[in-house]
Structure 1
Amino acid sequence: MSKKHSNIKTEYIRYFIALSLFFVFGCSNTKYLPDGELLYTGGSVTVKDSIIKKKARKELETELEGLLRPKPNKQFLGLRPKLWIYNIAGVPKKDKGIRYWLRNKVGEPPVLFSKVDLDYNASVLRNFTENRGYFKTRVSADSTVNNKRVTAEYTVVPKKQYIIKSVTFPDDSLAMSRLIARSSRRSLLKVGKPYDLDIIKSERERIDARLKEKGYYYFNPDYILAQVDSSKGDHEVKIRLVIKADTPAKALTSYKINKIIVYPNFVISKDSVKYKPEDVVQYKDFTIIDTADTFKPRVFDRAIYFKKGDLYNRKDHNLTLNRFVNLGTFSFVKNEFKLSDSLPNTLDSYYYLTLLPKKFIRVEVLGKTNSASYTGTEVNVNWNNRNLFRGAELLTVSVFGGADFQLSGDNNGKNIYKLGTETSLTWPRFIVPFFHVDGSSEFVPRTKATLRYEYQNRTQLYALNSFKTSFGYQWKENIRKEHQLNIIDVTYVSPNHVTEEYLADIDEDASLGKVIEKQLIFGPTYTYTYTNTMQKRKKNTFYFSGDLDLAGNITGLVSGANVKEGNQKNIFDVPFSQYVKMRGDFRHYLKLGKESELASRIIVGVGIPYGNSSALPTSKQFVVGGTNSIRAFRARSLGPGSYLNVATTNNYLPDQSGDLKLEFSTEYRAKLFSIVRGALFIDAGNVWLLNADPDKPGGEITKDFMKEIAVGAGAGLRFDLSFLILRTDLAFPLRKPYLPEGERWVIKDIDFGSGPWRKDNLILNIAIGYPF
């Protein structure tokens, strides 16, 4: 058979499959309907108005369609596979088994037109539209039947939208009325804006929040009445806010804090706390009833924002609860305010705290794979003590071990084993007096000290001993801004058991020698993070992380170290590293629809070695490629610049790294069905050396660095399993910077039907979580 006839036959098969799917998923769904029933396939809303602008009209139609009930059966590519599964499964004889699971867990029963109330939906649409200021709106409903399928059509004819002519606030003699009037400039009700019932509700909540900050603990938004007068003017309303006449007296009173009582050993299952007189500790303004002497009293002084005599306010109320939660020692935190018996217009504050287990062990077992064809596992055993010195300190002692194997390929037998331990101690405060954190922060500042040792053995090659210690601070200004400052951060790496085979490889490629060089890195590091991605309603959200790493700077300046002049200094016979390294990671998320978004990221990194160093340490250099970087290239195998490591005869590739990094990615994400989401992406970037390296020609950055940008593209699936997201990405290169100029774009070479092309270019990435 000729190739032409083969292609025609393939096309016929595709059309046959497509038509078969259409009839199987489509026509077969209606034949299972009960007698006299019709399948409801959805509703549409048309807004007929010549005044409303087209864009605003379409937005209103979308909002109104979202109110229609019931929702039709879910569709995928115009078909209803879940309904089809429900139908073909049939009626199960038992409440278990595959048929029961298919019908009730995977499938979806038909949405019948008999369940659709056209009049009810019409009234919902009318109420919603009038609440937006389109008074006296007319709504009509109709339906269309086609082959046992029914659609509902609603026509909304609004009148001219009313706007706000004036807003009046309470003007009586109550103290709270004066507070409300003083906050009027922050009002959400603006003269000239459209009338909107939801905004009126939000304004009442704004006023309530304002009063809660001024001691009015028992007030609530329902005590505010919005009187709307639309009788005068041309489609205008006057809004008058008043305090309801039947508002309880205690809601009109502001309160101060009297007693503050803390129960650190509260048991939820018991209604009351039994204690002895000696269990009661009076500390400053607090009464602490700690039956087991669990905590030092200063823990509560740092957590509770209220002091005796303070005016109640909800901000301090919530900050205190958040601080107790963020201490990490309590599983349950309850707060209660009661009217005081001893002083008028005061509240007694009670805190009931239920402890988490003080000591616990957590075991983690991980499976992993990477694009270098290594597959492995890692085990971590963590022992924790949540309250080591009775100050809510957290001590963690970890022991970990792992192994990576290449079961086939060039590195078969050169397995990687690692074993190590780490101890960290975290204090829920700054333990030096000159640090200060804004007292309004709901997050507990922390001081953390860490000591870590790791032994890594690459069989037949070399082994590395790594020691690391750090001491620093972590704090949040608010939910968006976070800081981490390590004033001490020391890393020491020492090799041993270097084999003759690896030494022979170094003779061929001198850059391999850097991997086994002794390293001593010390100096402060700082990281700042800002994000507002938790604001799900925003169309545009951002994430930024900036790192600053200063190594050996003061020591280098004091000692006069200068490697370029042959004056390299050592500490314990090891040259210390001296450099400045900065890295910025900026991400933008554009919400395109309810289940789709465009995510973009740009990373810029600069490392400048000087003084005692001619290059950044290998562990501190930048790399690209891999599952969370440029996915069309294998991990750590791209760059620097146009350099390509092809000169060596050893059977593995070293890490290809640089002092400078530029990387950009953009990814379209959308929900496909159920737990499955899809993505289309483009990645670009590279790394460069700041200084020329004769062993890596083309690696130094020049004015033409943009010509050395690598570009890759691909598609992926994400499986949202609620407790984790499993990601698979299939990528291929569009531009290879190591090819000769004029030949770097390889789009014309793409051939998915070619086995050799797929083997050389297609990269499958499997990972946990999103790449950014």
Structure 2
Amino acid sequence: MIKSRHNLSYCLFTAVLIAGCSGTRNLPEGDLLYTGGSVDVVSESTPKKERKALEAALEPLLRPKPNASFLGMRPKLFFYNLAGEPTKDKGFRYWLRNKVGEPPVLYSEVDLEYNKKVLQNYAENNGYFNTTSVADSTRSGKKATAEYTLDPKRLYTIRDVKFPADSSLLGTAVSKVRRGSVLKKEAGYSLDNIKLERGRIDTRLKEKGFYYFNEDYLLVQVDSTVADHKVDLIVKIKNETPDLAKNEYKINKIVVYPNFKLSKDSATVVDNETLEYNDFTIIDKENLFKPRIFDRTLYFKKDDLYNRTDHNLSLNRLVNLGTFKFVKNQFKVSDTIGNYLDAYYYLTPLPKKSIRAELLAKTNSANYTGTELNLNWSNRNLWKGAEQLTISAFGGVEVQVSGQNNGFNVYRFGTEANLIWPRIISPFKFESSSGFVPKTKATLGYEFQNRTKLYSLQTLKGSFGYLWKENERKEHLFNLTEITYASPRNVTPLYQAQIDSTASLGRVIEKQLIFGPTYSYTYTNTMEKRKKNTFYYKGSIDLSGNITGLLSGANIKKGDTIKVFDVPFSQFIKIENEFRHYLKLGPDSQLASRVIVGAGFAYGNSDEMPFIKQFFNGGTNSIRAFRARSLGPGTYDGSTNNNTFLPDQSGDVKFEFSTEYRAKIYGLVKGAVFLDAGNIWLLKEDPEKPGAKFSKDFMNELAVGVGAGLRFDFSFLVLRTDLAFPIRKPYLADGERWVLDKISLGNSGWRSDNLVFNLAIGYPF
């Protein structure tokens, strides 16, 4: 009897909830809830595939959009009704009604005739001339739907595309760019394609000197009388096209104002001293910039045929110099020579010197979270060649929020100087045709790091190399040399005792000297938000001591170790590849995936890779179901040692895979569910770490973790929380590594041993 009452109560509660979520209560008197519209394309002369495609294109055009529904319920409408009418414009009730909820979409807001015309126009603009349509509605209780039926007849296709045949300069130019036309014979008529073709022709003519031309001077006539359900498209130049638009132009004077002042009400030119340099006239009374930077930055030269590509590339390069606050460009018809343009560049410099303080929140791969204070001083025009010098000082503290190293805080301070030249400093000539200025960069830095209760490290770094971008998607970074010198300080008895029991820990505080070239290549199109599939790839190679080792004949296996400043230099090759794929599933959801493959090989003067150059796994930006840097190598379980802290586990080979479904939950709150897999391995046997060596069975030694998390996107930063747990543990016996059957979320002991909470800044990838 009691069970029956519970069932009855459950059914009544469910019925009330469904009724509430349906949103049909609290409607205005005499009105109905609009639940959506449908489009039915019926035509005996249109193939079924075309009808279905047309229906799919037409339905999103219907207005208004009905309330969002899920399994027949409308939760946003439910919360709107639940909140009722708030008495003030703030508070929980106001938030629930206006932020979480949404008002009902009423049938009285639906204009059947307007929607019918929209659908009919779309069909006719896409070649279904003489389309007929009917609109109707259906009422069911307090709900109403709209139904639209279209008869599109037969599709009109393009028989021929005709371009101007006259011998005028503009007519000939339009005719010459017909190759690559988006208007194809036998294709269906499309008004959108006609608009695209006008834009394409305009773009092509801009590359051929027609500066004053624009697509509005083109007309595409449609002749539907040429054949049964066929059209001819005739591209014409409008009679009212002005003479300026009919001519092609070359470049005459190129005038640069490098110190252009913007007053409050108008722009004024302050300097009036003129300097002639190659093809440029530079007006810079204060001599702020060396003229050669404009020769390297601007693509136009005297007598060049105007083209939009060089126009845009020049502007991009001026902006990319990082020296000017405003960049303005103007072309005027020359007063002295016909069909020529004078080019003017008005440049407003940024303040030459500036100082900036930054307070940062940060996380790192070791699962440490903390804060950092940066002080930066900049000089944006050091030697009048747009060279940028930045000197920074920093200090911060990092703590591990969760994990065995909680309490072993890290304190850091240091300084760094960066000098960037807006050119490639090299004995070899380097040409770049992109809109990004190639740069030479020199860096020198010092850092002191104190790991509480353990040890301190001081690190001196320096590098000299080149950065250049082929375009916005492809970037290269080549350091001719990158030097790192690390030296330990203040090793505590606690850490020394751990070294005595685990010798490999001594590698962390060894003196290290690393020098050699590095190169990385990055490709990304993730900035193209309209693409459904976007990619990111970064490949890098790190070489240390290769030439020195070769010339000196260093061979640690034979005892021939070479030292520089009484420190054995490291000799190795390290290669790493990272690939990311982003699949857009909707306006607020995506599937993000990442694969990382890397390997490092020490030889010659080194028996193993230096610790700071090895690979690590686990943590906030890696396999999140395992503590930071605790996973591996191989089947080795580092958590079984008796250390009072958890030492970082490192390896020579790395494989990592992650996939994450991301979706917006509400407002600035986004959610994710994810799966991570991977491990690290050593290339050589280590008696202290059995099972760590890389072998052909490496796929059987992968760790796998799953989890979910929230991302709070505040625009200026993303705060990320992830909760994860392992479903495969590589350090267990073969055949017992999958632990899905041992998951017990209700068991506190299981949660303590398996649940890993990650707090981080930014997305993991």
Structure 1 length normalisation: TM-score?
A: 0.93
The aligned runs of 1:272-351 (5 Å cut-off) are 279-351=273-345
- Worse-superposed segment, 633-642 or 81-90: 81-90
What's 1:477 paired with?
470
SS across alignment from 1:232? strand
| Pair 1:771-2:764 in alignment | yes
User: Which residue, out of 492, 501, 505, partners 1:508?
Assistant: 501
1:151 is aligned to 145
Contact 1:370 / 1:635 at 8 angstroms: preserved in 2?
no
Distance between the aligned counterparts of 1:177 and 1:651, measured in 2? Answer: 83
Cα 1:42–1:225 change in 2 (3 A) is same
Q: Is the 8 A contact 1:76 1:672 kept in 2?
A: no
> Residue 736 of structure 1: which of 729, 737, 761 is its match?
729
Distance 1:315 1:631, change over 3 A: same
Q: Contact 2:261/2:270 (CA < 8 Å) preserved in 1?
A: no
Partner amino acid, structure 1, of 2:257: Y
Distance in 2 of aligned mates of 1:19 and 1:266: 72
Which amino acid letter does the alignment assign opposite residue 515 of structure 2? Answer: F
Unpaired segments ≥5 residues, structure 1: none
State how 1:608-623 maps to structure 2 within 5 Å.
Answer: 608-623=601-616
Q: Indicate the RMSD between aligned Cα atoms, in angstroms.
A: 2.8
Tell me the secondary structure at the aligned position of residue 309 of structure 2.
Answer: helix
The 2-side partners of 1:481 and 1:119 are apart by 51
2: CA distance between counterparts of 1:598 and 1:335?
42
Mapped partners of 1:276, 1:540: distance in 2: 50
The amino acid across from 1:436 in the alignment is: F
* Cα offsets for 1:200-258 (capped at 9, x unmatched): 11111111111101110111111111121222323222112111222111111111112
Report the counterpart of residue 394 of structure 2 in structure 1: 400
Decide whether aligned partners of structure 1 residues 9 and 205 sit closer, same or farther in structure 2, where only a CA change above 3 A counts. Answer: farther
The letter of the residue matching 1:529 is: T
- CA displacement 1:331-350 (0-9 Å, x = unmatched): 22221112221111111222
Question: Of 643, 652, 673, which residue of structure 2 is paired with 1:650?
Answer: 643
Tell me the SS of whatever aligns to 2:61: coil
Question: AA paired with 2:625?
Answer: A
CA deviation profile, 1:555-578 (whole Å, cap 9, x unmatched): 000110001111111101101000
Q: Is structure 2 residue 65 aligned with structure 1 residue 71?
A: yes
Distance 2:385 2:77 in 1: 58
CA contact (8 A) 2:367 2:628 kept: no
483-492 or 586-595, larger mean C-alpha shift: 586-595
Aligned to 2:455: 462
Partner of 2:254: 260
Whole-Å Cα distance in 1 between the matches of residues 5 and 381 of structure 2? 73
Deviation at 1:531, TM superposition (A): 1.5
Q: In 1, are the aligned partners of 2:456 and 2:488 still within 8 Å (CA)?
A: yes
How far apart in 2 are the matches of 1:557 and 1:651? 42
Q: Which amino acid aligns with 2:37?
A: G
Q: Secondary structure at the match of 1:344?
A: coil
Alpha carbons of 1:353 and 1:95: their partners in 2 closer, same or farther (altered >3 Å)? farther
**Residue 271 (structure 1) shift:** 6.1
Q: Which moved more, 1:534-543 or 1:648-657?
A: 534-543
- 1:608 Cα offset (Å): 1.0
Residue equivalent to 1:568: 561
1:355-400 CA-to-partner distances (Å, cap 9, x unmatched) read 2233223322233467977553222222222222222222111111
- Pairing 1:551–2:547 present: no
2:375 matched to which residue of 1?
A: 381
Q: Write the mapping of 1:97-246 to structure 2, written as runs, cut at 5 A.
A: 107-246=101-240
Selected match of 2:522 from 529, 532, 538: 529
Amino acid at match of 2:606: S
Change (3 A) 1:320 1:534: same
Residue 50 of structure 1 deviates from its aligned partner by 5.9
Q: Which residue of 2 aligns with 1:448?
A: 441
- State how far apart, in whole Å, the 2-side matches of 1:405 and 1:665 are: 26
Name the aligned partner's letter for residue 756 of structure 1. G
Aligned-pair CA distance for 1:523: 0.2
What is the DSSP-based 3-state SS (H/G/I as helix, E as strand, rest coil) of the residue aligned with 2:56?
helix
Summarize the Cα distance change of 1:60–1:619 in structure 2 as closer, same or farther, 3 Å threshold.
Answer: farther
Indicate whether 1:426 and 2:420 are aligned.
Answer: yes
Corresponding letter in the other structure for 2:493: E
C-alpha separation between the residues in 1 aligned to 2:639 and 2:208? 72
| CA distance in structure 1 between the partners assigned to 2:598 and 2:621 by the alignment | 16
Shift of 1:299: 2.1
Q: Distance in 2 between matches of 1:55 and 1:757?
A: 55
Separation of aligned partners in 2, 1:517 and 1:6? 73
SS of the residue 1:679 aligns to:
strand
**Aligned residues between the structures:** 765
Distance 2:127 2:321 in 1: 48
1:687, distance to aligned residue in structure 2 (A): 0.9
Deviates more, 1:95-104 or 1:478-487: 95-104
One-letter amino acid of the structure 1 residue matched with residue 339 of structure 2:
N
Deviation at 1:135, TM superposition (A): 1.5
Residue pairs, 1:665-744, within 5 angstroms:
665-744=658-737
Task: Report SS of the residue matched to 1:759.
Answer: helix
What are the within-5 Å matches in structure 2 for residues 333-372 of structure 1? Answer: 333-368=327-362
State the shift of 1:294 in Å: 2.3
CA distance in 1 between partners of 2:8 and 2:155 (Å): 56
Secondary structure in 1 aligned to 2:430? coil
Q: Cα offset for 1:659? A: 0.6
C-alpha offsets along residues 494-518 of structure 1, whole Å, 9 cap, x if unaligned?
0011112111101111111010000
1:273 deviates by: 5.8
Name 2:596's counterpart in structure 1.
603
Q: Any conservation in 2 of the 1:169–1:242 contact (CA below 8 Å)?
A: yes
| Post-superposition offset of 1:437 | 3.1
What residue is the counterpart of 2:629 in the other structure?
A: 636
Q: What does 1:585-604 correspond to in 2, within 5 Å?
A: 585-604=578-597
Structure 2 Cα separation of the partners of residues 76 and 419 of structure 1 = 53
Q: Secondary structure at the match of 1:204?
A: helix
Task: Evaluate the alpha carbon distance shift between residue 606 and residue 445 of structure 1 in structure 2; reply closer, same or farther with a 3 A threshold.
Answer: same
Deviation, 1:119, is 0.8
1:94 CA drift (Å): 5.9
Whether the aligned pair in 1 keeps the contact of 2:466 and 2:479 (CA below 8 Å) is: yes
Q: What does the per-residue CA deviation read over 1:96-142, in whole Å, with 9 as the maximum and x for residues that have no partner? A: 66666665566544433322211111111111111111122222222
1:709-736 deviations in Å (ceiling 9; x for gaps)? 1111222333333333333322221211
When structure 1 is superposed on structure 2, of 494-503 and 537-546 the one drifting more is 537-546
Give, as a single letter, the amino acid of the residue that structure 1 aligns with 2:273: D
CA deviation after TM superposition for structure 1 residue 482, in Å: 0.6
Deviations 1:450-478 (A, max 9, x none): 11111011122111000100111111001
Q: Secondary structure, in 3 states, of the residue corresponding to 2:54? A: helix
The structural deviation recorded for 1:488 is 1.5
CA change 1:725–1:412 in 2 (3 A) is: closer
Verify the 8 A CA contact 1:371 1:765 in the aligned structure 2. no
- Displacement, 1:160? 1.9
Distance (whole Å) between structure 2 residues aligned to residue 741 and residue 51 of structure 1: 65
* Residues 1:450 and 1:9: Cα distance change in structure 2 (over 3 Å): farther
Amino acid at match of 2:578: D
Distance 1:739 1:101 in 2: 50
CA distance in 1, matches of 2:659, 2:454: 39
Larger displacement relative to structure 2 (405-414 or 285-294):
405-414
Partner of 1:580: 573
Return the letter of the residue paired with 1:169. Answer: F
User: Following TM superposition, by how much is the alpha carbon of 1:76 offset from its aligned partner in structure 2, in angstroms?
Assistant: 6.0
Aligned partner of 1:48 in structure 2 is 42
SS at match of 1:184: coil
Question: Against the structure 1 CA distance between its residues 156 and 714, is the aligned structure 2 distance closer, same or farther, given a 3 Å change threshold?
Answer: farther
The residue number in structure 1 matching 2:738 is 745
- Whether the aligned pair in 1 keeps the contact of 2:317 and 2:436 (CA below 8 Å) is yes
State the 1:164 CA deviation.
1.5
**Within 2, Cα distance between the matches of 1:24 and 1:143?**
24
Farther off after superposition, 699-708 or 370-379: 370-379
| Cα distance in 2, alignment partners of residues 630 and 478 from structure 1 | 33
Cα distance in 2 for partners of 1:661, 1:532 equals 26
